[in-house]
Amino acid sequence: MLHLVRDHRWSAGTVLPFGVLLCLVLALPLLAVRLWPADAESGDYVEIGAVRTGGGAGGEPAPEESGPDASTGSYTEDCGHNLEGHRNSDNVVISPGVVGGAHHVHDYVGNLSTDALATDASLAAAGTTCTGGDRSSYYWPVLRRTDRDGDRAAGQDGAPGHGGQDGQDGHGNVGEILTPDTVTVEFRGNPWSKVVPMPRFLRLLEGNPTAATDGGAEARARWGCTGYPGRTTDRYPLCPAGSLLTRTLDFPSCWDGRGTDSPDHRTHAVFPSATGVCPHRTFPIPHLRVTLGYRPPPGRAFALDAFPEQHHSPRTDHGVFIGVMTDDRMAALVACLNQNHSCRESG
């Protein structure tokens, strides 16, 4: 046992006063929260070497088979990687008009005005980070380094647009926000058919932000590491030195031909089959894929922003798209895909 001797060092011999013991017991949970502020569950992490090739987690890889009418082209845009710090805890597609309605912080590239109060007209008039002038909005939940504090936002808990770059959102998402090192925005064709243009202001959702608690329907999380092609997982991968941690967001590419949105924000645009065939009475549109790359923090000191009850599950990864390309730009994109070219928009 220990007791406090005259020179204020601990030595063996007597029992600690009850009050001191009580303080130590009460302090331990607070210490744990401080040292591990936003950890996901331990089973949510996996060494990338343990992920088998072709695991098929999340969205399906591009089908290897194709038909004679396939549109095999690709169209890549440079929209930066959010060095502008455009972030907020809004989701104008799911909760239009509700400031802070997402309950977690989103990263944006493309349209510089996207927030809860944005309209089609305001988006069409805004600036963009895309070098070719595409005003579409691309966004997803931020990834945080959980062993470092973020700066608390002034005013509303959130991030720029609503008050601070690394602000906490007030819903258990804490830590330093990681800016992606790379963001690749790519549109692809369809392996069996020519694609038709996306209507302007089309809304698309990818993934399921409540996958940890609702059974995982619509979950499409795909995590990986550069240098390990074909190895994707719905868990947080632990990447070796020199490898970037990656997130792949594949959006639906079969449109019902009617509206730019639907009450559930999903039924107007759905995913093709595993072979790439669109369901009956839908039309193939350009397949959007956004790939994010990060320099991973040491160990397991990173987690995704999420709703509190999701416990930062990697399965809740998701993305949102609002198409604001002009008709002329969309026509050029479709021509590139249908003529089987590889195009890159660079300004």
Task: Report the distance separating Cα 277 and Cα 60, nearest Å.
Answer: 13
Q: 9 and 155: one domain?
A: no
Q: What range defines the domain where residue 23 resides? A: 1-35
Q: 83 and 19: one domain?
A: no
Q: 95 and 17: one domain?
A: no
Q: 31 and 155: one domain?
A: no
Closest CA to 105 of 194, 6, 23, 178: 178
Angle at 6 between CA 5 and CA 7, to 5 degrees: 95
pLDDT of residue 325: 98
Q: 249 and 263: one domain?
A: yes
Helical spans, DSSP H, in the chain = 18-35, 120-125, 327-338
Q: 140 and 278: one domain?
A: yes
Instruction: Tell me the pLDDT band of 17, cut-offs 50, 70 and 90.
Output: low
pLDDT of residue 6: 34
pLDDT single digits (tens) 167-206? 555 578 999 999 999 999 999 999 999 999 999 999 999 9
Q: 127 and 153: one domain?
A: yes
Q: 133 and 1: one domain?
A: no
Q: 2 and 111: one domain?
A: no
Angle at 318 between CA 312 and CA 324, to 5 degrees: 145
Instruction: Tell me the pLDDT band of 256, cut-offs 50, 70 and 90.
Output: very high
Tokens of 302: 């990173």
Task: Report the distance separating Cα 107 and Cα 179, nearest Å.
Answer: 8
pLDDT over 90 percentage in the chain: 76
Q: 75 and 18: one domain?
A: no
Q: 15 and 48: one domain?
A: no
pLDDT single digits (tens) 281-335? 999 999 999 999 999 999 999 999 999 999 999 999 999 999 999 999 999 999 9
Q: 11 and 150: one domain?
A: no
Question: Contact, 319 vs 206, CB < 8 A?
Answer: yes
Whether 26 shows a pLDDT value over 50: the answer reads no
Q: How many domains does the chain have?
A: 2
pTM of the model: 0.84
| C-beta neighbour count of 31 within 10 angstroms | 10
Closest CA to 222 of 238, 237, 240, 212: 237
Task: Report the distance separating Cα 324 and Cα 250, nearest Å.
Answer: 18
Task: Report the distance separating Cα 324 and Cα 202, nearest Å.
Answer: 8
Q: In what order do the strands lie in the sheet with 283-284?
A: 269-270, 254-255, 283-284
